[in-house]
Amino acid sequence: MIATRILRRPRVLIVGCGDVGMRCVAQWRNARPDLHILALTSHPARRDELRAAGATPIVGDLDRPATLGRLAGLARTILHLAPPPSDGRDDRRTRALIAATSMPARRPAAPPATAVGRLRTLRTAARQAGAPVRAARIVPEGLRAPTLVYASTTGVYGDCGGARIDETQPLRPANPRAFRRVSAERQLRAATVRGVLSARIVRIPGIYAANRLPVARLKRGTPALEPADDVYTNHIHADDLAAILRRVVERGKPARVVHASDDTEWRMGEYFDRVAQVLGLPKPPRVSRADAERLLEPTLLSFMRESRRLSNTRLKAELCVTLRYPTVDDFLQTLAPASASGERR
């Protein structure tokens, strides 16, 4: 009886369980103690860390599809947080994940399969995708197409000249990273149309938290753009992002896109200035765009070439999300000068 109840627990698989994924684990454990959380990791050394957090580790590598055989039918809900590969314009990792976790395409109505037949179908689909299937220790959940929530980026829009945009804005990726994200979104939309999974897409701007502030950048004195050349940036706190991803899992609509963005309307330099002020660090020097092109490395410059303001109306109206930190300033006001560390852009 106990074993039967365990097998019937709903499951979610987190793919790419880094900082945001671990926050999702913590929030789910508090809100849904009945939920069985699984986490795909390519690093066996992380198994103890994931278990301690409350997730069951599954070792597999999206860059090695043959290692993904256990994923077929493993969970009806998938949270895809893994970044694309670092080269090319095609997201091969998302392609591998779709092949490993999706159901066979819809066919004309047929008599329902037995439980054994459903499991055989799942394993056949995995083998056809090039993933050898071994006897799984965790019984697959069934034949229903999985729900997949994908963490994309607002970089898919490219430069919008500072305009306010919603989720219907045309995609104009301007760098290889953004092209790979567009590739992932298109693959997931196509898979949704085929009926092999049901995807929802969350487009995410700059993520911040106490451990994700630009402290090292400020200490280095990396310049920001002059106000006349500066660009609008968008933000979301990592805890709010985790809550949004969980809400999309629960209430998101198939093939629907939503912006995971707060209400902040700052230009990039204003963000750096405010963080510096709160943490007692020097404000960054300001340079012209021409000087920035000469002084700064390409990845940093790519963020300085794109300006947009994200509408979060859909987030609030459709998903009824209330942010813990409606603006970056709401969070910064909670900080003591020595309470932040680390840097993520």
Backbone φ and ψ for 15, nearest 5 degrees, come out as -110, 110
Place of tokens 């896109």: 257
Place of tokens 């699984």: 38
Please check whether residue 106 is in contact with residue 37, taking contact to mean a CB–CB distance below 8 angstroms: no
- pLDDT at residue 233 is higher than 90: yes
SS (H, E, C) the chain: CHHHHHHCCCEEEEECCCHHHHHHHHHHHHHCCCCEEEEEECCHHHHHHHHHHCCEEEECECCEHHHCHHHCCCCCEEEECCCCCCCCCCCHHHHHHHHHHCCCCCCCCCCCCCHHHHHHHHHHHHHHCCCCCCCCCCCCCCCCCCEEEEEEEHHHHCCCCCCEECCCCCCCCCCHHHHHHHHHHHHHHHHHHHCCCEEEEEEECEEECCCCCCHHHHHHCCCEECCCCCCEECEEEHHHHHHHHHHHHHHCCCCCEEECCCCCCEEHHHHHHHHHHHHCCCCCCEECHHHHHHHCCHHHHHHHCCCCEECCHHHHHHHCCCCCCCCHHHHHCCCCCCCCCCCCC
Distance of CA 67 to the CA centre of its chain: 22
Tokens of 145: 């197409």
Backbone φ and ψ for 260, nearest 5 degrees, come out as -100, 75
Tokens of 224: 């920001």
Q: How far is CA 6 from CA 172, 256, 263, 302, 306, in A?
A: 46, 32, 41, 48, 48
Lowest mean pLDDT among 199-213, 306-320, 329-343: 329-343
Task: Count the Cβ atoms, other than its own, within 10 Å of residue 317.
Answer: 9
As to burial, measured by CB atoms within 10 angstroms (0-12 exposed, 13-18 middle, 19+ buried), residue 175 is middle
Q: CA nearest 204: which of 177, 175, 233, 236?
A: 236
Task: List, in sequence order, every residue forming a beta bridge with 39; answer none if it has no partner.
Answer: 14, 57
pLDDT of residue 108: 45
Q: For 94-140, write each residue's pLDDT tens digit.
A: 999 999 998 765 554 444 444 445 555 555 655 555 555 554 445 45
Q: For 6-18, write each residue's pLDDT tens digit.
A: 457 899 999 999 9
Q: Half-sphere exposure of residue 161, counting CA atoms within 13 Å on the CB side? A: 1
The full set of domain ranges for the chain reads: 2-210+235-265+310-326
Q: For 75-90, write each residue's pLDDT tens digit.
A: 999 999 999 999 999 9
Say how far apart CA 325 and CA 332 lie, in whole Å: 9
Mean pLDDT of 188-214: 98
pLDDT of residue 144: 78
Q: For 269-326, write each residue's pLDDT tens digit.
A: 999 999 999 999 999 999 999 999 999 999 999 999 999 999 999 999 999 999 999 9
Give the class (CATH, top level) of 2-210+235-265+310-326.
alpha beta
Q: 300 vs 5, which has greater pLDDT?
A: 300
